[in-house]
Structure 1
Amino acid sequence: MGTFALAVILLIITPGPGVLTTAGFGAAYGFKPSLRYVLGLFIGTNLVLLAVITGVAAIVLSVPWLRIVLMTASIAYLLYLAARIAFAGSKIAFMEAKTPPGILGGIALQAINPKAYVVNTSLISGFNYAPDNLPFEVITKVLIMTAIWIPLHLGWLWAGTVLHELNLSHRTQRAINIGMALAMLSVVALATWTATR
C-alpha cells in the first residue's frame, strides 16, 4: 500500500491540466472563488475513476473515431481554459474572464482530460497489493487516492492564491497568468504530440 500511495502522490502532483488550472485559477481569482471549480474537478475525477473501474473508459477509448473526437474536444477546452487564465482581469484582452469556471467546468475538464484516464488506469490496474481480495483492493485504492487528491489540489490552489494575494502589480500578475496559460499550452502540445505518435 505504501508504494501505491507514493505512486498516487507522484502521479497527481505532477503538472497536468487539473493541477495547472487549479493553481492558475487560484492565482487569477483567489482561493474561495476557485473552490467550486476544484469541487468540479473532484467530482469529475471520481467519474473518470468509476469509468475506469467499470471498464467503460476502455470500451469508449477503443473506438478510434470517438477517441479523436474526445482528443479534439480536450485540446479545445484546454485552450479555452488557458485563455481564461491568461486574460483574467485583463482590460485589454479580447476576453476578460472575471470569474473562474464553476463546478461544471471542473467536471468537463476531467471528463476530457487525457491525464485523468492514464493516471486512474495506471493506479487501478497496477500496484496490486491484495490480488486475492479485489473488492478490498479497489475500495482501499479509491480511499487512498481521495485522501491524497484533496490536500494536493487544495495545496496547489493555495499556492496559486498566495500569488494572488501578494498584491503584485497588474503587470506582474498578468505575467504570472500568462506563464500559467503557457504551461497549459505546453500540456496541450504534449498531449497532441503523444496522441499522434
Structure 2
Amino acid sequence: MLVFATVSFLMFVTPGPGVLSLAGVGAAFGWRQGLLYMTGLFLGHVIVSVAVITGLAAILLAEPVVRTILLFLSAAYLGYLAFRIALAGSKISFIEMIKAPGFMTGMTLQFINPKAYAVHTTFFTGFAFYPDSFTIEISLKFLIMNFIWIILHLAWLYAGCKIHELNLSSSAQKWVNLLMAASLCGIIVLSIGSI
C-alpha cells in the first residue's frame, strides 16, 4: 500500500496537463475560478477511474484509431487552454478573454486525455497489495489516490494563486501566463511526439 501511495504522490506532483493548467488558471484568474476548474478536473478524474475499473476504457482504447483521436483531441484542447491562459486579462485585437476556464473545461480535459487512462490503468491493475479481495483493494486504491490527488492539486492551485496575489505588473503577469501556456504547449509536443 505504501508503494502505491508513493507512486500516486510522484505521479500527481509531477507537472502534467491537469496540474499545469490548474496552476495556470489560478495564476491567471484566481482562487475561486481555480477551485471551479479543479472540481471539473476531479470529476473527470473520477469518471476516468470508473471507466478503467469497469473495463470500459480497455474496450474503447483497444482500437488504435480511438486512441489517436483522443490524443489529438486532448492536444487540441490543451492548445485551447494554453491560448486562454496566455491571453488572460489581455486584449489582442478582437480577442478579449472574458470567461475563465471552469468546471466543464476541467472535466473535459480529464475525459479526453488518453494519458489519464494509461495512468489509471497502471494504478488499478498494478501495485497489488490486497490479493484476497479485488473490491477492497480497488476501494483502498481509489481512496488513497483521490486523497493524494486532492491535496496535490490544491497545492498546485495554491502556487498559481500565490502568483496571482503577488500583484505583479501587467507585463510580469503576462510573462507568467505565457510561461504557463508554453509549458502546456511543451506537453502537447511531447504527447504528439509519443505516437
TM-score normalised to the size of structure 1? 0.95
Say which SS state the counterpart of residue 42 (structure 2) adopts.
helix
Aligned residue type for 1:24: G
Distance in structure 1 (CA, Å) of the matches to 2:19 and 2:68: 24
Distance in structure 2 (CA, Å) of the matches to 1:184 and 1:56: 28
Equivalent residue runs for 1:1-197 within 5 Å: 1-92=1-92, 95-194=95-194, 196=195
Q: Is the 8 A contact 1:78 1:184 kept in 2?
A: yes
Q: Is the 8 A contact 2:86 2:178 kept in 1?
A: yes
Distance in structure 1 (CA, Å) of the matches to 2:57 and 2:95: 34
Q: Is the 8 A contact 1:87 1:93 kept in 2?
A: no
RMSD: 1.1
Change (3 A) 1:158 1:99: farther
Distance in structure 2 (CA, Å) of the matches to 1:135 and 1:78: 34
Distance in structure 2 (CA, Å) of the matches to 1:62 and 1:81: 28
Aligned residue type for 2:176: I
Q: Is the 8 A contact 1:29 1:99 kept in 2?
A: no
Q: Is the 8 A contact 2:33 2:101 kept in 1?
A: no
**1:107-135 Cα shifts (integer Å, max 9, x gaps):** 10001113311221111111100112111
Say which SS state the counterpart of residue 101 (structure 1) adopts.
coil
Aligned-pair CA distance for 1:65:
1.9
Distance in structure 1 (CA, Å) of the matches to 2:42 and 2:192: 24
Which deviates the most, 172-181 or 111-120? 111-120
Distance in structure 2 (CA, Å) of the matches to 1:101 and 1:20: 13
Identity of aligned residues (%): 49
Aligned residue type for 2:114: P
Gaps of 5+ in 2: none
**1:124-182 Cα shifts (integer Å, max 9, x gaps):** 11110011211110000000011111111111001000000101000000000000000
Aligned residue type for 2:63: V
Aligned-pair CA distance for 1:98:
2.9
Aligned-pair CA distance for 1:96:
2.7
Q: Is the 8 A contact 1:34 1:100 kept in 2?
A: no
Gaps of 5+ in 1: none
Q: Is the 8 A contact 2:26 2:158 kept in 1?
A: yes
Distance in structure 1 (CA, Å) of the matches to 2:45 and 2:91: 34
Aligned-pair CA distance for 1:47:
0.2
- The size of the alignment, in residue pairs, is 195
TM-score normalised to the size of structure 2? 0.96
Q: Is the 8 A contact 1:37 1:103 kept in 2?
A: yes
Say which SS state the counterpart of residue 96 (structure 2) adopts.
coil
